[in-house]
């Protein structure tokens, strides 16, 4: 019996290895592109790698990277969350409003409150998608406007200034540890925790199975609705955390916080190698995509590129990433078929 079953098992293992190798090469390619971009920009203007500019790049990448990690979890399940920017904005304004009402509130508690608020908003998305079977694109497009409308209604043209928030909280947005911004350490912690869960826990692996083939996952007994619901809660929670960090970094908050950032988040995820069709990619690639997009927007003005071409370059990068995803998927599929035929 063992001899009969071993060839298909070996073929599946070989296919898995090919898939992992292909997408690892993809992430290494993103890293190489990032290094090349930095090297070219540095050659044009050596001040691009000054200590302050590196700090600004890390700070600029932090919030986008956290949002991209949450978005990647959702995209892996073959869904998308367009409400991430609105959740960030609502959480950021809530952070300022809470500090105005309770200036002595501990900062860790505020982080918990912001994350919990985001999780509740994510649960609204997940509940409608998983229970009511409404497409994620439709639901999150609607909640994008709904959550932003709540933000505008709450703010009523008000603006919360840095003077309204505790100095220790604002220092968190600018302080460094061994030269690394504290906010960037938050992003690293989120990235490692989510990446470890997806790779080593059954629930994380089941998210990939749902994205690869929802029907097969359902026949295998995977609770697809519950897993998709959890993915949207995680995305909302990370967007809520990003809102608190946004308030710490910028200090001044109004109802427009995070406006339009959801498109950059989706772009970072796609550029980072997470297949828009679900089932493959990693949060590490999504975070790399966020850093690459942030660096592109910082580097192209230094290189004298017109702002129009900056957006065009990002768009071309997204299209190239989708094309590469399809090519890699086709290659993995061929490898699996050849493995089965050989078995």
- Residue 261 CA to residue 236 CA, distance in Å, equals 14
What fold, for 19-342? ABC transporter involved in vitamin B12 uptake, BtuC (1.10.3470)
DSSP track, 54-66? HHHHHHHHHHHHH
Q: Determine the pLDDT at residue 227.
A: 94
Instruction: Tell me the pLDDT of the chain (343 aa) as tens digits.
Output: 344 444 443 444 444 455 556 556 677 878 888 898 899 999 999 988 898 899 999 999 999 999 999 999 999 999 999 999 999 999 999 999 999 999 889 999 999 999 999 999 999 999 999 888 889 999 999 999 999 999 999 988 788 998 889 999 999 998 999 889 999 999 999 999 999 999 999 999 999 999 988 888 888 889 989 999 999 999 999 999 999 999 999 988 998 998 989 989 999 999 888 888 888 889 999 999 999 999 988 888 888 887 777 778 778 877 877 777 666 666 656 665 665 555 5
The first and second tokens of residue 209, run together, are 């199975």
Alpha helix stretches (DSSP H) within 45-106: 51-76, 84-101
Burial 72-109 (b: 16+ CB within 10 A, else e): bbbbbbbbbbbbbbbbbbbbbbbbbbbbeeeeeeeeee
The position carrying tokens 């308030």 is 247
The ranges assigned to domains in the chain are: 19-342
Q: Determine the pLDDT at residue 30.
A: 84
List Cβ neighbours of 218 (8 Å cut-off, separation of 6 or more).
224
Q: Determine the pLDDT at residue 334.
A: 64
Q: Determine the pLDDT at residue 58.
A: 92
Q: Nearest 10 degrees: CA dihedral of 23, 26, 32, 33?
A: -150
Q: Determine the pLDDT at residue 261.
A: 93
Pick from 271, 259, 279, 283: nearest CA to 329: 279
Q: Determine the pLDDT at residue 184.
A: 95
**Residue 265 near residue 64, CB atoms below 8 Å:** yes
Q: Determine the pLDDT at residue 289.
A: 92
- Residue 312 CA to residue 304 CA, distance in Å, equals 15
**Residue 285 near residue 27, CB atoms below 8 Å:** yes
């Amino acid at each position: 019996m063992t001899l009969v079953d071993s060839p298909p098992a070996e073929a599946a293992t070989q296919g898995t290895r090919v898939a992992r190798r292909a997408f690892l090469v993809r992430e290494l390619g993103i890293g190489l592109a990032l290094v090349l971009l930095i090297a070219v920009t540095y050659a044009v203007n050596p001040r691009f790698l000054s200590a302050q500019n590196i700090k600004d790049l890390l700070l600029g990448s932090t919030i986008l990277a956290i949002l991209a990690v949450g978005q990647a979890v959702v995209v892996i399940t073959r869904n998308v969350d367009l409400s991430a920017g609105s959740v960030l904005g609502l959480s950021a304004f809530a952070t300022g409003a809470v500090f105005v009402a309770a200036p002595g509130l501990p900062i860790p508690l505020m982080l918990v409150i912001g994350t919990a608020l985001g999780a509740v908003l994510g649960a609204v998305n997940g509940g409608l998608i998983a229970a009511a079977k409404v497409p994620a694109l439709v639901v999150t497009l609607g909640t994008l406007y709904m959550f932003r409308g709540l933000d505008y209604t709450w703010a009523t043209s008000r603006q919360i200034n840095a003077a309204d928030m505790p100095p220790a909280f604002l220092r968190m947005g600018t302080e460094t540890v061994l030269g690394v911004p504290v906010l960037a350490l938050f992003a690293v912690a989120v990235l490692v925790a989510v990446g470890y869960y997806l790779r080593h826990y059954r629930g994380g692996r089941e998210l990939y199975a749902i994205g690869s083939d929802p029907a097969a996952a359902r026949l295998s007994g995977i609770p697809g609705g519950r897993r998709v619901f959890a993915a949207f809660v995680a995305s909302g929670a990370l967007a809520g955390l990003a809102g608190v960090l946004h308030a710490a970094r910028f200090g001044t908050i109004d109802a427009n916080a995070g406006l339009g950032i959801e498109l950059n988040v989706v772009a970072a995820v796609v550029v980072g190698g997470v297949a828009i069709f679900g089932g493959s990619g990693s949060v590490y690639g999504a975070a790399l995509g966020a850093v690459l997009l942030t660096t592109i927007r910082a580097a192209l003005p230094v290189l004298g590129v017109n702002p129009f071409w900056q957006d065009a370059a990002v768009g071309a990068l997204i299209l190239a990433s989708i094309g590469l995803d399809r090519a890699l998927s086709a290659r993995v599929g061929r490898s699996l078929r050849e493995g089965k035929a050989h078995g």
